[in-house]
């Protein structure tokens, strides 16, 4: 055909392949129900004392300068742009396990508590949930919960828009966020609307309707809500796991609606496994892989559009 260059042809082909592979994922009703057995208290043995985690005052300069930068740059304007960019394109097409391996080279600058690799942290989280006899959907949620950090390889501006704790933008910054004094250099800090208690939000509008600082939680939630059969509790664990000002410090109750009580319960049930499973013991990746691959096959399509 005249005018059909090789480049065009390849483009057309990959569009067609996309269409073939993007078969709408149809979960069976049985795997989307969370049941009740995720609610029991976490009892797994942590290797360190709980008080040793999240010691931000004593953290190294890498962590402090990470948050200084994040708190200066996460503006409403940036957050709107990040969400718009997210919708524009598919950044990669990979299976869940490929994504786990791909992420492994990232060293998280915001984390004062672990020196193991990202695979190590994902497996430690999932294994702690499994040891406590929690349901498969929760184990696999633990396995994938930080895969949103892949954003770092997809043209993020740094780590400040990928990792770290999250907070609400568009209203007054809560003093329950770590290093709250570092917001003074954020242009929104003095904005006549964004600096007020409610800012752009209505009282009790619900966490679904607030804009959380963009990063791995919001990104992964957006990717998986249509490409997994995780129950809503699992998706909430992913979306809010870094929202410590909310799930640990009880901030933002004036923005919560009734449904958020249940969401918060799920996020809190997940947190001990994410935080207190962190240890410097390496995991037996290859030995654990077949078990987790079988869970991945149950809850995710073979290839995910990232």
Choice from 113, 132, 146, 161 touching Fe ion (CB under 5 A) = 146
Residue placing its CB nearer to ligand INS in the complex, 163 or 296 = 163
For residues 82 and 229, which CB has a smaller minimum distance to ligand INS in the complex? Answer: 82
Least CB distance from residue 150 to Fe ion, whole Å?
12
Residue (91 or 248) nearer to ligand INS, CB: 248
**Positions in 254-283 near Fe ion (CB under 5 A):** 274
Assess contact for 166 and 217: CB atoms under 8 A: yes
Give the one entry of ligand INS, Fe ion, none that residue 164 binds, where binding means its C-beta sits below a cut-off of 5 to 8 angstroms depending on kind.
Answer: ligand INS
Interface residues with ligand INS (CB under 6 A)? 108, 110-111, 146, 163-165, 241-242, 244
The least distance separating Fe ion from the CB of residue 28, rounded to whole angstroms, comes to 28
Give binding residues as ranges.
54, 108-110, 121, 145-146, 149, 164-165, 216, 241-242, 274
- Which residue's CB comes closest to ligand INS? 242
Question: Interface with Fe ion includes 165 (CB under 5 A)?
Answer: no
Residues in the annotated binding site for Fe cation: 121, 145-146, 216, 241, 274
Query: Applying CB under 5 A, which residues contact Fe ion?
Result: 146, 274
């Amino acid at each position: 055909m005249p005018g059909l260059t090789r480049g065009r042809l390849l483009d057309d082909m990959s569009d067609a392949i996309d269409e073939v592979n993007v078969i709408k994922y149809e979960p069976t009703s049985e795997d989307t129900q969370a049941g009740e057995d995720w609610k029991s208290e976490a009892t797994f043995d942590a290797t360190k004392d709980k008080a040793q985690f999240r010691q931000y005052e004593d953290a190294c300069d890498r962590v402090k300068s990470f948050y200084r930068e994040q708190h200066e740059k996460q503006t409403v304007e940036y957050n709107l742009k990040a969400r718009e960019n997210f919708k524009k394109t598919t950044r990669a097409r990979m299976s869940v396990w490929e994504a786990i391996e791909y992420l492994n080279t990232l060293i998280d600058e915001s984390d004062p508590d672990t020196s193991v690799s990202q695979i190590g942290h994902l497996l430690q989280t999932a294994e702690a949930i499994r040891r406590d006899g929690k349901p498969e959907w929760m184990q696999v949620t633990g396995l994938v919960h930080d895969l949103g950090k892949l954003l770092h390889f997809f043209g993020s501006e740094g780590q400040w828009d990928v990792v770290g704790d999250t907070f609400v933008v568009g209203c007054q910054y809560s003093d329950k966020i770590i290093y709250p004094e570092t917001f003074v250099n954020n242009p929104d800090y003095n904005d006549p609307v964004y600096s007020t208690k409610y800012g752009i939000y209505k009282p009790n509008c619900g966490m679904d309707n607030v804009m959380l600082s963009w990063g791995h939680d919001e990104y992964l939630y957006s990717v998986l809500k249509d490409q997994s059969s995780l129950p809503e509790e699992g998706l909430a664990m992913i979306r809010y796991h870094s929202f410590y000002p909310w799930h640990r410090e009880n901030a933002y109750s004036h923005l919560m609606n009734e449904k958020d009580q249940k969401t918060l319960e799920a996020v809190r049930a997940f947190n001990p496994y994410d935080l207190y499973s962190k240890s410097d013991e390496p995991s037996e990746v290859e030995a654990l892989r077949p078990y987790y691959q079988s869970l991945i096959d149950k809850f995710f399509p073979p290839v995910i559009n990232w």
